[in-house]
Amino acid sequence: MNYTEFVCAVEKNMSLKVKEGVKVSSYTAVKNNGRERQGIVVETPGVNISPTIYLEEYYQCYQNGEGLEEIVDDIHSFYESIRKEKSWDYRKILSYEGVKDRIVFKLINRDKNRKFLESVPHREVLDLAVVFYVLLEVRREGTAMMTICENHIRQWGIDADTLWETAAENVKRILPAELFTMRYALGEIMSGSEEGRCTRENILEGNSGEHDRMYVLTNRIRSYGAACMAYPYIPEMIGRTLGTDYYILPSSVHEVMIVPADGGLAGGELEEMVREINATQVAEEEVLSDHVYYYDCREGLLRVCGAEAAGKEGAR
């Protein structure tokens, strides 16, 4: 069966497994950069937030020979584990006071998400956009989050400036930035996770004396860590730490590469590399930008590199 038929089959079989009164339906979401993802949403009476379970990975298992019944059993078990996990009181989203300590932000491409940005409070940073979300839970399997829309801030009685001030403070505590060498990043990949390392490297905390031609900037949970380049204090801190101007290469929405400007590479070469990697190695919904950015330590200014940036103002 094709993917659409697979989704319908999962929806039908899940409906037979859940308790009476629970509704299972197919759902299509427009994700980052306009990419659509299809899954099922499970609605429970009296609960105003319902989990969406995306099915692309499960369909891959089906194509590899796993049976539909076994797949539906796995999905049902996953749903039950979410339902029984009551670490977050979802009634808190009804008020700003209930969520203000969990409001953070991520970075997305402005031009590829113009329609989405019409419905959410946001803040432009060069050719990118800061969008806000409530970080509900962080689990080994992934994160649970709620995007903050215009109707939320109307309900809470706040504006986008308040969101920015709140999120900019929260990220320092909830999603602190981490900068480490490419050697460390490769070791982290080889070990399976940062938990497999004996010591956790973060140059911003002064716990590494190593120098490298390229560094990785992300957050502690490695999710939407490219946002660290928009943390109010981080670009300046990196410049002081490295002792030089530097380029920022947006490798994905989850992390960026930092390349010291005294390393001999030109912005044009780096941008060509970013474009090629985005086109061949990064999932469409995880692409941040094809542009390279440059931080000038003396001026304290972040700008877009290249001819397209001519005349564009930088960000401080």
All structural domains of the chain with their residue ranges: 3-84, 90-174, 177-309
213 CB-contact burial (10 Å; exposed 0-12 / middle 13-18 / buried 19+): exposed
pLDDT at 141 > cutoff 80: no
Contact 191, 218 (CB under 8 A): no
Cα 39 from Cα 50, distance rounded (Å): 12
The pLDDT score that the predictor gives to residue 197 is 47
114 CB-contact burial (10 Å; exposed 0-12 / middle 13-18 / buried 19+): exposed
Q: What is the pLDDT of residues 21-43, one digit of tens each?
A: 889 888 887 788 888 888 888 88
The pLDDT score that the predictor gives to residue 109 is 97
Cα 86 from Cα 172, distance rounded (Å): 26
Find the mean pLDDT for residues 214-221: 93
Cα 61 from Cα 63, distance rounded (Å): 5
Q: What is the pLDDT of residues 289-313, one digit of tens each?
A: 999 999 999 999 999 987 444 445 5
Average pLDDT, the chain: 85
When mean pLDDT is compared across 124-133, 179-188, 243-252, the lowest value belongs to: 179-188
The pLDDT score that the predictor gives to residue 290 is 94
When mean pLDDT is compared across 10-19, 44-53, 140-149, 303-312, the lowest value belongs to: 303-312
- Give CATH for domain 3-84: 3.10.20
